[in-house]
Chain A
Amino acid sequence: MTDIDRKSLSKPHEIHTRRFGRNAGTALCLVGFCAVVFGLTVAKIQDGGLMEAHDHQPRASVLPVTEGTDQ
């Protein structure tokens, strides 16, 4: 067996077993964080009403309201 084979990641190393709990916990936290950000995004969009980014083009909804007009 070569030195590379002994260090190959494909072969479970003792450290994988030793740190399984820590790695699994970290993975769960990351997945949970992604889920929270996704859920928050959905909630914000549902509650957010009209949200339009400025696209450097005049449009009715961004023009000031003037008396006598039907904007």
Chain B
Amino acid sequence: MEKFTALIAGLLFGAGVTISGMVNPMKVLNFMDLAGIWDPSLIFVMGAGLMVTLLGYRLVFRRTAPLFARSFLVPASDVLDAKLLGGAVLFGLGWGLSGFCPGPAVASLVFGYPQSFMFVIAMAIGMTLTRMAYRRMMPV
């Protein structure tokens, strides 16, 4: 059942980033362009996404465990460190340059634009290199 849940969640996610227009990098860049040709649509995407998740999580976390797994797996840390904030700075820079964040970029692959493939392959390389470097510096 956990596989069926993952499939439904994936379908909803892919449909959501597509219908909302987040798979269109120009739309995302125009949202960030407050001083230019501003397109406020993404406020509505974030707003609706947050409302549904806030309400949904409130109900879900009344349970002691999820339906098909032993426990909720959520990060508990509250530490703001350089790794978190430095990572967020880099992500914001790449997002602002391209208009792509990971979910919409991956979903946009189905529309067949070569730019989507370039972005996702480069992102995969960046993720893998970072993980390898981090493992070397901090052996478990």
Do A and B assemble together?
no
Q: Which residues of A contact B (CB under 8 A)?
A: none
